[in-house]
């Protein structure tokens, strides 16, 4: 394989951040590298989907700002489901401002993301301050950060140099940055290990007419060495059975992982 695969078990001791080790433990215990993206606009629908797919996932990804009736009750219910089914919560907030502002966006406002989301993500466009700012809020609460190193959409402005610079920024904060949102494995010049979570994964569709591009679990795990597949509409699109699809993607993701170990 182009990207030699090391097992989740063997990588676990390489991480100092507790969220990373918890996530790897869940992946191993549940044999699931599937993150479901619950992009629904009603709290009850997000909770119902989380309860349905919970047994088959290692992580649930949210967009809190699209939920019309977001409130503290929703957060409490989501946390209960995360405990019941053992999955991590990832608020896909994509912070992109100066350190001082993202601290407020992370800790305060309507969503108080730092209080409930194990993992958040950020663009590195503003420079290192965005990481330092989020870390000052998140690390004391035992949270973790993913950096956006690449996107799945057509015509993204990410360049190879930007992606590489993002890894260099991660290497300054390996206690808080546990990985990347990217489309392939990203080796670190400093020798740190990072988890790569990959959106734009689908077995049935090629795109969505708005620039999204789908690849298969086999493409991203075997060919490109990623670690976690992120699947949204592939699982909950109207007409699809979320439980059946979650099982299908869990198996596809785990089979691809095993194939990548053997490759």
Compute how many residues bind ligand 5BU; rule: CB under 6 A.
Answer: 17
Select from 34, 43, 148, 186 the one that contacts ligand 5BU (CB under 6 A). Answer: 148
Under the binding rule (CB under 6 A), the answer on residue 242 touching ligand 5BU is no
Report the nearest approach of ligand 5BU to the CB of residue 95 (Å): 12
Q: Which C-beta is closer to ligand 5BU: that of 37 or that of 52?
A: 37
DSSP 213: B
Ramachandran class of 109: left when φ > 0, alpha when ψ lies in -120 to 50, beta otherwise: left
Task: Choose the catalytic residue: 25, 97, 171, 255.
Answer: 97
Q: What are phi and psi of 128, to 5 degrees?
A: -60, -25
Under the binding rule (CB under 6 A), the answer on residue 151 touching ligand 5BU is yes
Task: State both tokens at 84.
Answer: 């019941």
- Cβ atoms of 189 and 205 closer than 8 Å: no
Residue 152 marked ligand-binding: yes
End-to-end CA distance of the chain: 6
The CA distances from residue 185 to 2, 175, 221, 234, in Å, are 10, 19, 9, 23
Q: Is 92 a catalytic residue?
A: yes
Select from 88, 231, 246, 252 the one that contacts ligand 5BU (CB under 6 A). Answer: 231
Task: State both tokens at 181.
Answer: 């949102």
- Cα separation, 31 vs 58, whole angstroms: 9
Select from 149, 230, 252, 256 the one that contacts ligand 5BU (CB under 6 A). Answer: 230
Q: Which of 187, 263, 192, 190 has its CA nearest to residue 221? A: 263
Under the binding rule (CB under 6 A), the answer on residue 89 touching ligand 5BU is no
Which listed range, 20-28, 71-79, 146-154, 238-246, lies at the site for ligand 5BU (CB under 6 A)?
146-154
According to CB under 6 A, which residues from 174 to 193 bind ligand 5BU?
A: 181
Q: Is 97 a catalytic residue?
A: yes
- Cα separation, 94 vs 161, whole angstroms: 20
For ligand 5BU, the binding residues (CB under 6 A) are 37, 39, 63, 92, 148, 151-153, 181, 199-200, 212, 230-234
Active-site residue set: 92, 94, 97
């Amino acid at each position: 394989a182009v990207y030699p695969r090391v097992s989740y078990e063997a990588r676990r001791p390489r991480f100092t951040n507790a969220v990373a080790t918890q996530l790897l433990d869940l992946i191993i215990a549940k044999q699931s590298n599937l993150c479901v993206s619950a992009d629904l606009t009603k709290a009850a629908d997000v909770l119902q989907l989380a309860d349905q797919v919970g047994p088959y996932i290692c992580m649930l990804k949210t967009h809190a700002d699209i939920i019309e009736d977001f409130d503290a009750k929703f957060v409490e219910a989501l946390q209960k489901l995360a405990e019941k089914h053992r999955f991590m919560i990832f608020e896909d907030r994509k912070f992109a401002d100066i350190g001082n502002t993202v601290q407020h966006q992370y800790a305060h406002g309507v969503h108080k993301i730092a209080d409930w989301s194990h993992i958040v993500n950020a663009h590195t466009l503003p420079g290192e301050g965005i990481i330092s700012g989020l870390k000052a809020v998140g690390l004391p609460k035992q949270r973790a950060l993913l950096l956006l190193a690449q996107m799945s959409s057509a015509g993204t402005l990410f360049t190879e140099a930007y992606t590489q610079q993002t890894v260099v920024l991660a290497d300054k904060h390996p206690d808080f940055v546990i990985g990347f949102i990217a489309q392939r494995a990203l080796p670190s010049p400093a020798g740190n290990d990072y988890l790569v979570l990959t959106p734009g994964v689908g077995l049935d569709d090629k795109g969505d007419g708005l620039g999204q591009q789908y690849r298969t679990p086999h493409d991203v795990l075997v060919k490109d060495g990623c670690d976690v597949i992120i699947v949204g509409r592939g699982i909950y699109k109207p007409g699809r059975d979320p439980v059946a699809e979650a099982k299908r993607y869990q198996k596809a993701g785990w089979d691809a992982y095993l194939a990548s170990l053997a490759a």
